[in-house]
A and B are shown apart, each in its own frame.
Chain A
Amino acid sequence: MSELTDLYQEVILDHNRRPHNFRVIDPATAKQEGYNPLCGDRLTLYLTVEDGVIKDVAFQGSGCAISKASASLMTDAVKGKTVAEARSLFDRFHQMITSPPGSALPELGKLSVLAGVRDFPTRVKCAGLAWHTLKAAVSEQAAGPVTTE
C-alpha cells in the first residue's frame, strides 16, 4: 500500500480540497482550455503575463484529485516566474512524472509531492493536464483546446 500513500499524500489531498488560485482572472492576457476526453477532466487556465513575467495565474475546472492538486501546485510554482522559467519547469515536471520508477528525480521543491504519479502510468495524464495547458497558453501560436489524450 506504500505506493498508494505516496500518490495520495496529505499535501495533494489538501490541494484537492482547497485548491490555490482557484478563480477567474478577468481580464487575462491569456486563457486556455485543457480537456481530457477519456476521463472528463476539464480546466480553464488564466494568465496575466507582463514583460515576459507571469504576474498572475489561476484556474477553474473539475477533475480528479491528482489533476486538481497538480493545477493548484503549478499555479503556486509559476507565479512570478518568467515564461522561459515556466517552460523549463514544464520540462523538468514532465521528466519527473514520466521517469522510470526507481530512477533519480529532478529537484522540484513542492512539486516533488507529485513524483508518486510515475508509479501509476494511467494517472500521468491527470498530473500533466494543467502543465500541457500552461505550455499551450504561453506558446506563440494560437491553439485550440489542449487534450492529454
Chain B
Amino acid sequence: MAIAISFDVETIRADFPILASSVHGKPLVYLDNAATTQKPRAVLDALTEYYTSSNANVHRGVHYLSGKATDQYEQARASIARFLGAAEPREIVFTRNATESINLVAQTWGRANIKAGDEILVSAIEHHSNIVPWYMLAAEKGAALRVIPMFDSGELDLEAFARLLTSRTKLVAISALSNALGTVTPVAEIIRQAHAAGAVVVVDGAQAAYHMPIDVRALDCDFFAVTGHKLYGPTGIGVLYGKAALLEAMPPWMGGGDMIASVTFEHCTWNVIPNKFEAGTPDIAGAIGLGVAVEYVSRIGMDRIQAYEQELLAYGTDALRQVEGLRIVGTAPRKASILSFVMDNIHPHDLGTIVDREGVAIRTGQHCAQPVMDRLGIPATARASLAMYNTRQEIDALVAALHKARKVFG
C-alpha cells in the first residue's frame, strides 16, 4: 500500500534553485506562474544530462546515441500520455506550445471540416491563443465565430451556451481555466452538450494542466492543448492531445522530414500518428525535460497540489480583500489560484513596478485577453498567480508591497 506523503512546501521549494535568489536586494517572491512556472532541478538536470550523454537526432540513426535519444524522447511521450490520461502515447503530438497545438487543430482538422455558414464557439474568457486561430479559420472559410458570454464574476453563462449551440456549431474551443480571471470552466458539461449537438471540442489546457488533475478520457474532449513551460518544464515544448481516430483522419500540417512514409517528386505519403504532425527535428531535450516535469508533479500528486493551491487561494483572497481600495477581478465560485485585481487610483503598471522593487513578481496588463478587459470595462489588471511552491508568507509580502504602493501614491 502506498504511504501518503504530506504536502511539504519547503521541500518542494528546495527543488527550485531560482526560488532562493534575490531581486533588487529582496528575496524573490515569484507570483507570475500563469505566465510561466519555474523549473525544478530534476528538469534542469535532465536537459544537461541529455546534451551531455544522449544528444543525437531521433527516429533516424542506427547508432547507439540515436537509439538512446529516441528511447528517451518516446518515454517522455509515454509519461505525458499517462499524466493526461490519454489512451495511448500516439495520441500525444509534440508541438512548441499550447498556441501551436491549437493552431495545428485549426489548420488541419479545421480547414478540412469547417465550411461556409458553419459556426465556431469560443468563450468570453479566452486567451488570444484560443481566439485568433479560430478567427483566422472563420475568415478563411466564411464561417462565423460566436462567443459564449460571461457574467461579471467571470463565470460562463451556460444558458446562453445552450442557446448558442445549434446544428451549425461544428467546433467548441474552450479554456479549462482562465489565465486572466482564474475561472475554472465546467468543461466536462460543455463537452457533453457540445458532443450531443455533434460538435468537436478543443480544450485549451495551458493553465489547467499545472493547477488540477487532468483526465482527457474522463473529460471525453477531442483535443487538449498543453504548454510545457507552465507545467514546470522547459520553454519551446508543448503537447497536443487528440483522439487517435481524429488525428488519423486529419491531413498533415507542416511538411518535412519524419512526417512522411515515402517521398517521390510525384507522390508523398504520410507517416502514422503522431509522427505525421512532427515534421523536422523536434525539441528533443525539451520533450525529455517535460517528461521529467510531469513525472515530478505526478510524484507529488496533482490532487494534492490542487488542494494546497486552493488553501493558498482562500488565504490570498482574504488577504487582498483587506487592502484598502483593492478590488478582486474574477470572483467565479470555482477558481484556481489566480488573483487578478485593480486598486483605486493606481494603475496596474505602476503597482507592478513598485512591488517589483520589493522583490515581488506579478503580471500587469491585459494578460493576452483583451476581450476580457473590454467586457469588464477595465484597461488592465494586476495579477498574482500562485503555484505549488508559493507560501502564505509570500502572499503577505505581496500585501506589504501593495501597502507600499499606496504610500508612494499617497
Interface of A toward B, CB cutoff 8 Å? 1, 3-5, 7-8, 13, 17, 37-42, 62-66, 68, 120, 122-123, 126
Which of the candidate stretches B271-279, B328-336, B346-354 sits at the interface with the other chain? B346-354
- Known contacts: A4-B408, A7-B353, A120-B353. The answer to whether A63 contacts B366 by CB under 8 A is no
**Min CB–CB distance B366 → chain A (angstroms):** 5
Q: Are A39 and B354 in contact (CB under 8 A)?
A: no
Q: Does B99 contact A (CB under 8 A)?
A: no
Residues on A with C-beta less than 8 A from B348 are 39, 64
Residues on A with C-beta less than 8 A from B219 are none
**Min CB–CB distance B399 → chain A (angstroms):** 18
Residues on B with C-beta less than 8 A from A41 are 349, 379
Give me 15 other A-B pairs in contact (C-beta within 8 A), A4-B353, A5-B408, A39-B365 excluded. Answer: A4-B354, A7-B353, A8-B354, A37-B366, A39-B349, A39-B364, A39-B380, A40-B365, A40-B366, A40-B373, A40-B379, A40-B380, A64-B347, A65-B346, A65-B409
Q: Give the number of residue pairs across the A-B interface with Cβ within 8 Å.
A: 56
Q: Which residue of A lies closest to B349 (CB)?
A: A64
- Please measure, in the bound complex, the distance between the C-alpha atom of A13 and the C-alpha atom of B345, giving whole angstroms: 11
Q: Does B357 contact A (CB under 8 A)?
A: yes
- Interface size for chain B: under 10, 10 to 19, 20 to 34, or 35 or more residues? 10 to 19
Q: Are B365 and A123 in contact (CB under 8 A)?
A: no
Q: Which residue of A lies closest to B368 (CB)?
A: A38
Q: Which among B349, B364, B370, B373 has the greatest number of chain A C-beta atoms within 10 A?
A: B349
- Please measure, in the bound complex, the distance between the C-alpha atom of A17 and the C-alpha atom of B409, giving whole angstroms: 9
**Min CB–CB distance B180 → chain A (angstroms):** 12
**Min CB–CB distance A7 → chain B (angstroms):** 7
- Known contacts: A39-B365, A40-B366. The answer to whether A1 contacts B357 by CB under 8 A is yes
Q: Are A39 and B366 in contact (CB under 8 A)?
A: yes
Q: Are A4 and B357 in contact (CB under 8 A)?
A: yes
Q: Are B408 and A8 in contact (CB under 8 A)?
A: yes
Can you identify 9 A-B contacts, CB atoms within 8 angstroms? A7-B353, A8-B354, A13-B410, A39-B348, A39-B365, A40-B379, A41-B379, A64-B350, A66-B350
Q: Which of A1, A13, A17, A123 contacts B349 (CB 8 A)?
A: A123
Q: Are A3 and B357 in contact (CB under 8 A)?
A: yes
Q: Which of A7, A13, A126 contacts B409 (CB 8 A)?
A: A13
